[in-house]
Structure 1
Amino acid sequence: MSQRNLLRGAAVFAVALALILVGAAVAPYAVQLGGNDSADTQNAAKQAFDADELVATPGPESGEVAMDSNAAPKTVLIDVAHQNDVSESDVQPLVDALVANGHQVKYLTREDAQRDFNASLRRADAFVVVNPERPYTSDQLDGLRSFEDAGGRVALLGDPQSAGTTSILGLITVSVSSGTTGGDAGLTSDYGVSFGSSSLYNMHDYYLNYENVYAAPEGDTALTEGVDEVVFRDAAPLSISDDSVSPALVSGGETRVESVRKTGPYTVAAQSETVVAIGDADFLAPESAYEADNEVLVGNLADFLVSGDKESGAPEPATPEAGAPAGPAPGSTTGSAPTRGTTPTPA
């Protein structure tokens, strides 16, 4: 046999062997799709292209903000009166959870604050402050102090830039990374917390990018019940100077402060009986609320806001400023208008 014929025979044999192998592989599927299974095949094809039959599989960043509290209906007042760098959509997961559980959410406008700040607080059980850019007046600070002393719940949330420029309404001092403080002392003696003005970052353990730091519970607080790990996209470190305030969330040991690049774990959330302070506001937004255990943290914050029992009638109406004449008594028929000293001075 010539070499050409020998090669031709080998090629024919290889083609025949390939056809046999392909047929053996396809045969089971041909049997399955034939005969009485044609109807099932059509149904499967229909489901594959029928939108009504599709079921979305939740990803790892999905979840639900749930509340455990069975508290009676309460009113939560969110401050938008002090040029707060926050929109309604930025806190929607928190608002939705509160409303779904029978509570009422209202927004304090600038007009309300100028008209009668204390009256707005009297109708509320909790007060939420997010990224303010205009300071409170002394009368408003007094009213908020009375509100908290009467059992009202207060939540203070601020990003580093906001904390560095507003002193968090004068309620707490601002602590820069070196440990110095600035701004109006306000209620520091009562709250014992200060916000850092520089962002935290972590080059070793982060979520998506190094500015998104992880934080884990510290100690045992109601704010972190059921939380293993949360993500803060722009976190400010907190300093605690009062034994009544407990750290609630602490960043990892490789976290650094942007201004001085000092490594260490940093407190990013703290809690007392009536006050919660969190050095981040972005975790409330819909795009961040379902990362890690953030939705659990949002639910716990909602539970905290409605779990208080504020005394009725607090805070009392603001008193006239020193040296200012008092306005007419309630029910007076005199035609004179109340003096400016009877209401808080606009910020």
Structure 2
Amino acid sequence: MTRRLTLLGLALLVVPALVRGLWFYQGVYWRRSPVSTPEYASFTVPLPPLSTAEAPAARNASPGAHVLVDQSHANNFLAAELEPLLREVSAHGGQVEFLTSSDSGSLATRLAAATALVVAAPNAPFMRDEVQRIEAFVGRGGRVLVLTDPTRGSPQYDSYYSDTSTPLDDSSAANTLLAPFEITVADDYLYNLNENEGNFRNVLLTHFAASPLTADLGRVAFYAAHSIASPTGLALIYADENTLTSRTDRGGDLAAAVLAANERVLVIGDLTFLAPPYDHVADNARWISNLASFLLGGEPSRAPTDFPYIFSGPVVVQALGELEMSTDLITALSSLQSALDESGLALTISESPKATANRIVLATYADQEELSPFLGGFEIGLPGADGDPLGTGELQLPGWRTLDASAVGLMLVARNEGQTTLTLIGADASALIELISALATHDFSMCIGQEGIAACATGPADLASLDFAFADNDFTALDGGLP
């Protein structure tokens, strides 16, 4: 019985396998011809055109070129992504500095030392006072480069406990800065389905306006770019009819880079082209070199409120006429030394400094003959003597009525071929000490000024007495930063 059950079990195990094998078995396979395979050696991978970085060319950087990179507005980029551009700036003598939200110095303070500002992919709006500072900076000749990118937005959550979020595009934050310059960055991206750099959002641009910024450019590649509009600016780089905007799926002279504000503000709709390896695609390397030249060309005029950043090297104090370097005056100057120390600048006193030296000149209104070389271009009428257009004790500033010189001190900033001269003029040594104190403490609450000039109430005078002296609106009250 047991044997029979064992044989039956083996049969149930073997017979089904044998039947399946015989049913599906079709004999031994013999390959009669080789299996055809693709000719891999003949394949070519489509690659974008590459440009080779050129040796740094001679470039005339403005004296003391100082590029400030903003990272205080939730900027969505890494410093390494700007490395090709900032390396070009540094190679030609420019100084690069980053401003983060944790830094003690405000944007207004740091702009005083800068000649150019770079804002990349901001995700936090600019406050009104910041916009005013930047607008004044551009008005004085500073350069601003704004880089936006459709891929650099950040999620905005409806509430702390909510999982619902909406994307916040960097164009919204950038537009809070660009409104005074009549530039608008669209919340879109450009794309081209016919010709692109491997992806429909990687657009190749070949249309350029005539400008030093577009010199020697034949084609640049942008990797997702906003379109930019400006009724008064120059469309520096613009797309062909096959490049469309994602907002309307329409094309037609869409600008990807705009130059405005007397060629001092440049806005670009892409940031990725700066980062390796994209910086070597098409003519991007040459384009980046041109951008470095743009940043290095900024040379804003300086105001007394920019002290100590008006100087880029050692400073010499020179007293004119019969002014005596008293103990009180030297003590006041020591406070200026502390301010200059923060910028790494030395302060010395000399009766006859070199003609090329940066100087702080101290003088009274009585030193008219010695002051004459330092007043060129300011159109200032000093207190005159009998027979002069101005009577004794009267002071005339451009756009002002006649002032009482005994109640007013002047600060004048002049730059000439890299040399900066700050001239302080008062009725006497006590007035000069008040002017020095205002500089050292950066307290210009008693001053009114215009480009390169600050007039400060000294002695018993007050700001209202100066304000009453206006003949037009050329002068504005100073609050420590606005010239």
TM beyond 0.5 = yes
Q: Distance in 1 between matches of 2:215 and 2:76?
A: 28
Question: Quick check: 2:235–2:255 contact (8 Å CA) kept in 1?
Answer: yes
Question: Quick check: 2:151–2:224 contact (8 Å CA) kept in 1?
Answer: no
Structure 1 position 343, deviation (Å) = 9.5
Aligned to 1:154: 144
Residue 301, structure 1, aligned to residue 291, structure 2? yes
| Shift in alpha-carbon separation, 1:106–1:158, aligned structure 2, 3 A | same
What is the TM-score normalised by the length of structure 2?
Answer: 0.48
Following TM superposition, the consecutive aligned residue runs of length 4 or more in structure 1 with deviations greater than 6 angstroms are 328-332
1:78 partner letter: V
Residue 107, structure 1, aligned to residue 107, structure 2? no
Greater fraction of residues in strand: 2
Name structure 1 gaps, 5 residues minimum: 1-58, 173-183, 318-327, 333-341
| Shift in alpha-carbon separation, 1:169–1:211, aligned structure 2, 3 A | closer
2:275 partner letter: A
Structure 1 position 263, deviation (Å) = 3.1
Residue 165, structure 1, aligned to residue 169, structure 2? yes
Greater fraction of residues in helix: 1
Residue 75, structure 1, aligned to residue 63, structure 2? no
Aligned to 1:259: 247
| Shift in alpha-carbon separation, 1:67–1:110, aligned structure 2, 3 A | farther
Q: Distance in 1 between matches of 2:266 and 2:57?
A: 17
- Give CA deviations for 1:46-81 in whole Å, capped at 9, x if unaligned: xxxxxxxxxxxxx95251154552224411111111
Residue 134, structure 1, aligned to residue 124, structure 2? yes
Question: Quick check: 1:145–1:187 contact (8 Å CA) kept in 2?
Answer: no
Structure 1 position 217, deviation (Å) = 3.5
Aligned residues: 250
Q: Distance in 2 between matches of 1:331 and 1:123?
A: 16
Identity value in percent: 28
- Give CA deviations for 1:142-198 in whole Å, capped at 9, x if unaligned: 11111111100000110125586344545x3xxxxxxxxxxx4x5524x22211111
Q: Distance in 2 between matches of 1:315 and 1:262?
A: 49
Question: Quick check: 1:221–1:271 contact (8 Å CA) kept in 2?
Answer: no
Task: Tell which has more relative contact order, 1 or 2 (C-alpha 8 A, sep 6+).
Answer: 1
Aligned to 1:94: 85
Q: Distance in 2 between matches of 1:61 and 1:117?
A: 38
Structure 1 position 250, deviation (Å) = 1.0
Name structure 2 gaps, 5 residues minimum: 1-47, 154-167, 308-436, 442-478
| Shift in alpha-carbon separation, 1:217–1:67, aligned structure 2, 3 A | farther
Structure 1 position 218, deviation (Å) = 2.8
Q: Distance in 2 between matches of 1:260 and 1:195?
A: 15
Question: Quick check: 1:224–1:300 contact (8 Å CA) kept in 2?
Answer: yes
Aligned to 2:4: none
Question: Quick check: 1:146–1:315 contact (8 Å CA) kept in 2?
Answer: no
What is the TM-score normalised by the length of structure 1?
Answer: 0.66
Aligned to 2:267: 277
